[in-house]
Structure 1
Amino acid sequence: MDTAEIARPAPRPGLRERKKRRTRDTLLRTALELFTTQGYERTTVDEIAEAAEVSQRTFFRYFPGKEEAAFAVQALAEEHFLAALRSRPPHEAPMEALRRAVLEGWDTLREAVESVVPVELYLRMYRLIESTPVLLAAHLRRSAEIEERLARLLAEREGVDVATDPRPRLAVAVFGGVMRVTERQWSTGEDFSLAAIRTLTAAYLDQVGPALTGHWRAD
């Protein structure tokens, strides 16, 4: 095979695919704007479709329901983090790989998110999830699913059997707990920028070792 053929870039999506992408992005941005301005539970699919100037049927072509729209950008961010973890050098210890992957993820997330919605809207939605019981419950359920994927990825990376070796799930349980504490603290603070959550994430992950092995009492 010709090397020029191998290096040839992938063809651009056709007009039909670009229109579908624009429609989905419009629906998603409209849904998040309505969720964050008037509340998730007070927003209906009909309102989202009307504001996006499409039919309800079109909405359901792209999203099974409101919850899927609410978490669409979070799902993108999760895949971004998983990809960052897969790319970590094999010599890094598991917890260090998780730490570096999540911090790298925050460093590069803006571009990924802004290909779909403004990052400010993503962060507003992030806060809404933390403060809306039905969304928080869904978020915790989704987090458990992501943590299982992370545990399996760590097991594969380290060459251990996740079914018999508890360490991948233990490491991910600690990591996931730190991330939930970070999210909760960030969502109630005054600064809800990407830089703020990245800084808070780094600070809290740095406390894992001392918190688990050190004494907490002041002298």
Structure 2
Amino acid sequence: MSVRAEPASLRERKKQRTHAALVDAAVRLFRARGYDATTVEEIAAAVEVSPRTFFRYFDGKEEVALAPFVEFDRLLVDALADRPAAERPLPALRAAYETSLTHLAGDRGVLDRFLTAHFLTGQTPALLAGRLRRQADTERLLAAEIARRCGTGDDDVRPHLLVQLVFAAARVGFETGCRRGVLDQPEKLAASVVHALDLATAGLTRHWGEPWA
């Protein structure tokens, strides 16, 4: 059994490398040439694979362009699920977001891909719409996890409100950091997001109380 397991592991690592290479090539070409002017064939050629191989990894240009956001959102959902069961929703969600930020800031390649995707969505309405659709899915997953922790039903607005408040604050903090020119200083960029989260959630403990904040 152990002899068979290793080739599968090697294949998986190769798939991960190809996936990352396609994302890197795509965001680089999108930044240089523009999203609309770049073709799937050009992205595949940059990685020396066929367009058919590209479509084994991604449905099209939108999916590969938004892949850095998908990675971040997946990290966030997993980080929240990993928080202690007894932890209150706001601290758990804050900690999960900060864990995801630490991952983002700790890998220059991951951060560059994310920043490029952020730039592209600001320049391309179709990508912005796709990003918002995917973010809405992520928000629902996070709200469902928070509702599960608190034992509330689907009709309780607080899990959804909490998630959207944190997302809005994080976005403002991120954009503020970008305007301050700290893109080459990941720690300061992360600090800008955390500061915005502090400001946005400061009153929740007083207004919502236990077991939320």
TM-score (norm 1): 0.79
Aligned partner (choices 128, 138, 142) of residue 134 of structure 2: 142
Post-superposition offset of 1:172: 1.3
User: Percent of aligned positions with the same letter in both sequences?
Assistant: 37
| Residue 58 of structure 2 corresponds to residue 66 of structure 1 | no
Post-superposition offset of 1:14: 4.3
The one-letter amino acid of 2:173's match is: T
Post-superposition offset of 1:15: 4.2
- Give CA-to-partner distance per residue, 1:66-85, whole Å, 9 cap, x none: 11111122211111111111
Compared with structure 1, are the counterparts of its residues 159 and 195 closer, same or farther at alpha carbon in structure 2 (3 Å cutoff)? Answer: same
Partner of 1:169: 160
RMSD, aligned CA: 2.6
Q: State whether residues 31 and 120 of structure 2, in contact with CA within 8 Å, keep that contact through their aligned partners in structure 1.
A: yes
d(CA) in 2 for partners of 1:90, 1:19: 36
Aligned partner (choices 118, 126, 141) of residue 126 of structure 1: 118
- Give CA-to-partner distance per residue, 1:110-156, whole Å, 9 cap, x none: 56x67xx5533333333332343222222122111111111001011
Post-superposition offset of 1:95: 1.5
Partner of 2:85: 90
| Residue 191 of structure 2 corresponds to residue 196 of structure 1 | no
- Give CA-to-partner distance per residue, 1:189-212, whole Å, 9 cap, x none: 411143233111111111124578
d(CA) in 2 for partners of 1:47, 1:56: 9
* Structure whose alpha-carbon radius of gyration is higher: 1
Gaps of 5+ in 1: 1-7, 215-219
d(CA) in 1 for partners of 2:110, 2:151: 39
The one-letter amino acid of 2:33's match is: Q
d(CA) in 2 for partners of 1:173, 1:140: 12
- Give CA-to-partner distance per residue, 1:53-106, whole Å, 9 cap, x none: 222222111111011111122211111111111122233321221112111221
d(CA) in 1 for partners of 2:111, 2:196: 23
Aligned partner (choices 20, 42, 49) of residue 25 of structure 1: 20
TM-score (norm 2): 0.81
Structure with more of its chain in helix, by fraction = 2
Compared with structure 1, are the counterparts of its residues 80 and 118 closer, same or farther at alpha carbon in structure 2 (3 Å cutoff)? Answer: closer
Count matched residues.
Answer: 201
The one-letter amino acid of 1:83's match is: D
The one-letter amino acid of 1:95's match is: L
Compared with structure 1, are the counterparts of its residues 200 and 110 closer, same or farther at alpha carbon in structure 2 (3 Å cutoff)? Answer: closer
Counterpart of 1:92 in 2: which secondary structure?
coil
d(CA) in 2 for partners of 1:56, 1:97: 42
d(CA) in 1 for partners of 2:92, 2:72: 17
Partner of 1:48: 43
Partner of 1:37: 32
The one-letter amino acid of 2:44's match is: A
d(CA) in 2 for partners of 1:195, 1:126: 18
Q: State whether residues 174 and 189 of structure 2, in contact with CA within 8 Å, keep that contact through their aligned partners in structure 1.
A: yes
Partner of 2:102: 107
The one-letter amino acid of 1:82's match is: V
